[in-house]
Amino acid sequence: MITINKETSNLLIITIFSLLFLALNSILCKAALVNNYIDAYSFTFYRLFFGAITLILIYFYNHKKIKISKNTNWLTSFMLFVYALCFSYGYIKLDAGLGTLLLFGIVQIVMLISSFFHKEKISFQKVIGMFVAFFGLAFLLYPRESLDISYFHVFLMVLSGIAWAVYSILGKRSVDAISNTMDNFVKATLFAIVFYLLFNMSDIHLSLNGIGLAFISGSITSAIGYVVWYKVLPKIQIITASVIQLFVPLISIILSVIFLNEIFTFELGISTIIISLGILLTIFSRK
């Protein structure tokens, strides 16, 4: 008989909460770009900026001070910046559902490799589940005449997935989720400014709708969602963290069909079913 204690129940609730917010980020970004409310760089910058401001206010409210580290969190901050930038540019040509599926498929691969290096115990059932999930992703991306995908933007989403995976792996060492996430967002915003100065962005365009969507994505679904995610990470295995994130594209696919009128294709449906089976095989346990 499967039993769930109060601690596990609370962990489950905040995990579902964080996964929902991760999925909503894709919907908000795609909605902003497909309606031409804002350009990809500006969405990235304002998403990081509003996230930083929100977390600074929360941290100041709790501690009555602001503490930004000069010597730590630079790698995690850079990974957050790379993830957010490639995420936005990738969605210029990718549907929200497909982009999220690709993103977290890559996340799973990178975190799986990391779990081997960390010598985490992996059961045979988990291995089978992961292979099934990988097969579902491969089925989706296998070249066919009806498949119209920009592989450059696929490459950008792959980079985004790698960056998010590293960000999540490093997050397992977090002892203060709000402080670490605030620090990451502040420094990621600095990286975004440096990127603007280096590449002299010229295709900037803004609207109130675009800034509003970036605000929601930055202040709520990113800032709050990532704090919750950083609270979850230290309590679970790397391999578990990688696999449960594959629920994000499933949520995103449903939301994109409902709110963005994206087409739920046969290939997308089959790959979704296969990946879902892989997830269930991997995380199912009687303990």
* Residue 4 maps to a domain: no
* Residue 196 token pair: 């603007």
Number of structural domains (the chain) is: 1
Rounded to the nearest 10 degrees, the angle between the axes of helix 223-232 and helix 151-171 is 50
- Is 224 inside any structural domain? yes
Residue 17, in any domain of the structure: yes
Half-sphere exposure of 33 (CA within 13 A, CB side): 22
Across residues 120-137, what is the average pLDDT?
Answer: 77
- In-domain check, residue 175: yes
113 vs 282: CA distance, rounded Å = 15
Asked whether the predicted pLDDT for residue 2 surpasses 70, the reply is no
Q: What is the pLDDT of residue 1?
A: 44
pLDDT, tens only, 57-90: 999 999 898 888 888 889 999 999 999 999 999 9
pTM for this structure? 0.86
> What is the model's pLDDT at position 115?
76
* Average confidence score pLDDT of the chain: 85
Residue percentage of the chain with pLDDT more than 70: 92
Does 5 reside within a domain?
no
Q: Is 244 within the bounds of a domain?
A: yes
125's CB contacts (< 8 A; 6+ apart) are 281, 282, 284
In a domain, 185, yes or no: yes
Any idea which of 51-65, 174-188, 256-270 has the lowest mean pLDDT? 256-270
Cβ atoms of residues 30 and 258 within 8 Å: no
Predicted local distance difference test score (pLDDT) of residue 145: 59
Q: Which domain holds residue 138?
A: 10-283
In this structure, is residue 103 part of a structural domain?
yes
Which region among 71-75, 165-169, 224-228, 269-273 has the lowest average model confidence (pLDDT)?
269-273
Give the DSSP per-residue string, the chain: -----HHHHHHHHHHHHHHHHHHHHHHHHHHHHHTTSS-HHHHHHHHHHHHHHHHHHHHHHHHSS----SSSSHHHHHHHHHHHHHHHHHTTTS-HHHHHHHHHHHHHHHHHHHHHHTT----HHHHHHHHHHHHHHHHHHS--TT----HHHHHHHHHHHHHHHHHHHHHTT-S-HHHHHHHHHHHHHHHHHHHHHHHT-------HHHHHHHHIIIIIIIHHHHHHHHHHGGGS-HHHHHHHTTHHHHHHHHHHHHHS-----HHHHHHHHHHHHHHHHHH----
